[in-house]
Amino acid sequence: MDRIDAALRSQHPALHIVFADARHARTVLNQVTERIKKDIPYWRANGVAVAAVAPRADGSGVTVLVRQVPADLAAAMRERYEFPNLELKEGEIIPA
């Protein structure tokens, strides 16, 4: 990987390029994402409308889009999935 880093830096000397390892492997992020997606009926039964779930592009965790974020939801999800890096965002998906 060092050769790739050096080649990119030499080709683009005016840019500040930083290379960093992702906090989580893509396989782990995908597993957590799929578990949450499978649990959408569970969350709906508990009054939580999950609109979307996706791994964050930088590998730092998983984002969960919900219609409304109850105060205890983040802790409940982190405990259920045994994954600390869940980011809950409020919103909904509106078709174009």
Provide the CATH number for the domain around residue 44: 3.30.300
| Alpha helix ranges (H) inside the chain | 2-11, 26-38, 40-45, 73-81
Range of the domain at 39: 23-90
Is 6 inside a domain boundary?
Answer: no
Write the DSSP symbol of residue 13. Answer: T
The number of folded domains in the chain is 1
Q: What is the spatial distance between Cα 95 and Cα 20, in angstroms, rounded to a whole number?
A: 35
- Domain for residue 66, yes or no? yes
Does residue 14 sit within a domain? no
Does residue 59 form part of some domain?
yes
Query: Has this prediction a pTM greater than 0.85?
Result: no
Residue 19 is predicted with a pLDDT of: 77
Q: How confident is the model at residue 1 (pLDDT cuts 50, 70, 90)?
A: low
Decide if 35 is inside a domain. Answer: yes
